[in-house]
Amino acid sequence: MVSISGIRGVIPEGLDPVNIVHFSLAFASITGKKIVIGNDARPTGPILRHLLIGTLIACGKEVIDIGLAPTPTVKAAVEILDADAGVMISASHNPPEWNAFKFIGKGGFFFDHEQSANLVKAVKEGANPSVGYKAMGSLREMDGVRAHIDAVLSIISNLEEIRSKKFTVVVDAVAGAGREALPALLKELGCRVVPLYCDPTADGSFPRLPEPTPSALQEFGNLTIKEKASVGFALDPDADRLVVASPSAGTINEEYTVPLAMLGLEKKIRNHKNPVIVLNQSTADLSEFLADKMGAKVIRSAVGEANVVELMRRENAVYGGEGNGGVILPDVPSFGRDTLTGAALILSAMAEQNAGTIDPLMEQLPRLFMKKAKMEMDAVSVEKVYSDLKNKFPDAAGDTTDGLRLVLHDGTWIHARPSNTEPIMRIIAQSPSESRLDEVLKLISVSV
């Protein structure tokens, strides 16, 4: 699959050594000299990593390898080191047979549509910018996590207040890229860390399902309750999605992550002259609820971190995010979905409000009635899904920025779109009440 999220595929049917090198050559042909790379803990990571490094050196590049690191850490390193580009080797929440290249441009931003198109063009043209032996590139290693942690700490105004609380935090890192980074940050914040899946597995496999869904995070939620922890933080394999747990309720819906972190920015948002917050079209209205209280304007982008960030930059937004647990703050050099930033902001809000646990923050947010479903793309055509939904809700306001988003008169909305990362169709609906959501879902099930 080639999309705004990079290239990804199953090993070896989708990604084999030949096309891995082809994409590496194409990437080398459209980027500058200094390249940062990092990877998650997938067992196929070394294959992609060595092929990529060898190809980049053969093309005269100066490669900086930061090793096992979250996606936001690689992005931050590109910006901090003033590198020309970067690559994160990770298929994010996909199953272990998948892997991917996430391409990063100057400033630590994911490739936009134009850059992605240039990459595809270079692949099709068989780009091969390899150089003679005297012009070969170089390789050096660097600790990118330390620089990332320092950047996050620098934007938290009440560090000593957080440290004085000595919060107990459960961390489920799915033995992935954040298994060292997030605990290290939390210890800097004076927290007692209760680790879950923060050690590597013998064969590099995931100890639970990689996507941080409620069913995958039952053990995490139960441990947060058992430990009577202040809060729990769970990650996906490349640590750009953050899910929260409470000592009273266990695992909390991922849609609450962005608004919970937003509470850590309340003073900044209220003091801003014209605060703008960007959410994607599939994100719940919870942050809009807070934005209304804080005097901020919410605008929506297409789904995908690159799309959210592009609109944030255009609108000079103070904050943004995606409902899958992606907190985006322009003040940190990662400027994208960042679990370290999200965790720090939530702890900052807890300390600011003198809350011993996450529960008092949750009480400030409304209940969520939302359903997320997916279907195989070969089950029905995209056009038929859109047509059926329009027929079922003829009076709804439609938005085709990304797939089809319908907003009904009572505030209920439905968003249907092909996934950027899997060969599936995603359908998400939110309503003001559970009964209304059930009613809408019954209609959707008939149409799709």
Q: What is the tens place of the pLDDT at every residue in 374-421?
A: 877 676 688 888 999 999 999 999 999 999 999 999 999 999 998 877
- Integer angstrom CA distances of residue 445 from 151, 380, 423, 448: 46, 13, 20, 5
Q: Of 227-231, 238-242, 351-355, 376-380, where does mean pLDDT reach its minimum?
A: 376-380
Which residues sit opposite 277 in a β-bridge?
Answer: 298, 319
Instruction: Find, among 170, 222, 218, 186, the residue nearest to 357 by Cα.
Output: 170
**pLDDT at residue 402, rounded to an integer:** 93
**Distances in Å between the alpha carbon of 381 and those of 18, 226, 425, 427?**
32, 46, 10, 14
* Domain at 163-251: CATH code: 3.40.120.10
pLDDT of residue 9: 92
When mean pLDDT is compared across 72-76, 212-216, 325-329, the lowest value belongs to: 212-216
Question: Chain-wide mean pLDDT for the chain?
Answer: 94
Which residues belong to CATH 3.40.120.10 in the chain?
Answer: 2-144, 163-251, 258-362
Whether residue 1 contacts residue 424, with contact meaning beta carbons closer than 8 Å, is answered with no
Confidence of residue 2 (pLDDT cuts 50, 70, 90): confident
State how far the Cα of 282 lies from the Cα of 277, in Å rounded to an integer. 15
Q: Is the pLDDT of residue 448 over 70?
A: no
Q: Where do you find CATH 3.30.310.50 in the chain?
A: 370-447
| Residue 165 CB coordination number (10 Å) | 18
Average pLDDT value for residue range 313-334: 97
Protein fold of 2-144: Alpha-D-Glucose-1,6-Bisphosphate; Chain A, domain 3 (3.40.120)
Is the pLDDT assigned to residue 447 strictly greater than 70? no
Is residue 422 pLDDT above 80, yes or no?
no
Q: Is the model more confident about 83 or about 112?
A: 83
Average pLDDT over residues 252-274: 97
Among the four given CATH numbers 3.40.50.720, 3.40.120.10, 3.30.300.280, 3.40.1710.10, the one describing domain 258-362: 3.40.120.10
| Candidate CATH numbers 2.40.50.100, 3.40.190.10, 3.30.310.50, 3.40.50.300; the one for domain 370-447 | 3.30.310.50
Distance, CA of 128 to CA of 105 (rounded, Å): 19
pLDDT of 178 strictly over 60: yes
What confidence score (pLDDT) does residue 295 get? 97
List the single range of 52-61, 282-291, 296-305, 374-383 with lowest mean pLDDT.
374-383
Mean pLDDT of 110-125: 93
Place 372 in a pLDDT band, splitting at 50, 70 and 90.
confident
pTM metric for this prediction: 0.93
Of the candidates 299, 335, 326, the residue with the CA atom closest to the CA atom of residue 315: 299
Q: 130-139, 246-255, 260-269, 368-377: which range is least confident on average?
A: 368-377
